[in-house]
Amino acid sequence: MVTSLPDTGKAQKILADAKHVLCICHRNPDGDAIGSLLGIGLLIERAFPDKEVTFHCVDPVPESFLFLPAAFRVQRAPILKPDDAIVIVDCAVPKMTEMHETHPQLFDGSHQTVWIDHHPGPANFATANLVRSTAASTCEIITDLTKEWNWSLTPDIATCLLTGIFTDTGGLLHSNTSSHVYRTVARLMREGGRRQEVVDTIYRKQQLSTLRLWGRVLEKISLTEEGGAVSAVTEGDFRSTGADYAELTGAIDYVNAVPGMRFSMVLSERDGKVKGSIRTLRDDVDVAEMAGKFHGGGHKRAAGFAIPGKLKPEFRWKVVEETPPEETGK
């Protein structure tokens, strides 16, 4: 039995009272971000047919998730009105949306906000905070909420939610795949969720550019004295393989397969920043603590960070931090 979250009733009232609901996820969306974004938005539309619901992300939906219902409706910039409510999914801190500077009114308390997540953030920043760090995915939490709110599922909604659960559990292979996850998947399949479509599209089909990029990741793996398997891809690697940034998703699972390692890490360059994704299979390693040293975070076994800088190859990859121009006064 999953315990009800304290703000469940408050969140439901916010959604019921709003005329327009904006749903937002983090930049560089993965399967759980897109699945929860579309899943909660479609659920709100079904529960309140008179409401306008819009979907927003600063980055395009990755090609591997374009099969999902309503993926074509995801827009970049939201247009806020006074009575709008905001739902933020799979995003532990506002800056992960990359809308905190362009649209600060999203997070300044002037609008009613609902935060749904399985990543524990440094603080509860929303009006209603629906955060369960023991859940494997945000889509799992949303599925639980449909029971509490007595909201009905459709095959399309169930497929969106299945996508987030499958991607955040590595196809039900990761250690976060609890018995509750299996029960949740079974319920979504009973409601018409297209499990085979999710599996075939995400795990059995890859673009040639994706495979070429992953090849770069694998050929650059080096082992560190600290017991890590580390690889890196530069902006040049993305250009030469023809891959976009979203296609890097999944590569770290292969780096994490190197036997005997304490942790694995994939570094990547984008827009003057270095992003690090860290994973571990061990109980005695906390990669969220490692990511925290670079102002990142996540879970004990899966975490990440992003800092200004570029990658410089030495005997092993080195992150060279750079101060953004606005901070130097130039």
State the DSSP code for 132: -
What is the full per-residue pLDDT of the chain (330 aa) written as tens digits? 466 789 999 999 999 999 999 999 998 899 999 999 999 999 999 999 999 999 999 999 999 999 999 999 999 988 888 889 999 999 988 888 989 888 888 888 889 999 999 998 778 899 999 999 999 999 999 999 999 999 999 999 999 999 999 999 999 998 899 999 999 999 999 999 999 999 999 988 889 999 999 999 999 999 999 999 999 999 999 999 999 998 998 899 999 999 999 999 999 999 899 999 999 999 899 999 999 899 888 888 889 999 999 998 765 666 666 655 554 343
3-class SS letters over 23-85: EECCCCCCHHHHHHHHHHHHHHHHHCCCCEEEEECCCCCCHHHCCCCCHHHEECCCCCCCCCE
Nearest CA to 112 out of 135, 145, 88, 136 is that of: 88
Q: CB neighbours of 259 closer than 8 A, spacing ≥ 6? A: none
Kindly report, as residue ranges, where domains of CATH 3.90.1640.10 are found in the chain. 8-202
129, burial (CB in 10 Å: exposed 0-12, middle 13-18, buried 19+): buried
Q: How many CB atoms lie within 10 A of CB 253?
A: 16
Q: What is the pTM of this model?
A: 0.86
State the DSSP code for 124: -
Structure tokens at 224: 């560190």
CA distance to 89, 158, 174, 252, 261, per residue, from 257 (Å)? 29, 31, 12, 9, 8
Q: Do the Cβ atoms of 238 and 271 come closer than 8 Å?
A: no
Q: Do the Cβ atoms of 307 and 273 come closer than 8 Å?
A: yes
State the DSSP code for 288: H
Structure tokens at 74: 């995801």
What DSSP string describes 192-251?
T--HHHHHHHHHS---HHHHHHHHHHHHT-EE-TTSEEEEEE-HHHHHHHT--GGGGTTH
* Superfamily (CATH) of domain 8-202: inorganic pyrophosphatase (n-terminal core) (3.90.1640.10)
Burial 186-205 (b: 16+ CB within 10 A, else e): ebbbebebbbeebbebbeee
3-state secondary structure of 176: coil
Looking at 3.10.310.30, 3.30.70.20, 1.10.1200.10, 3.10.450.40, the CATH number of the domain 208-326 comes to 3.10.310.30
Distance CA(106)–CA(99), nearest Å, equals 8
**Residue 264 confidence (pLDDT):** 97
3-class SS letters over 84-120: CEEEEECCCCHHHHCCCCCCHHHCCCCCEEEEEECCC
Kindly report, as residue ranges, where domains of CATH 3.10.310.30 are found in the chain. 208-326
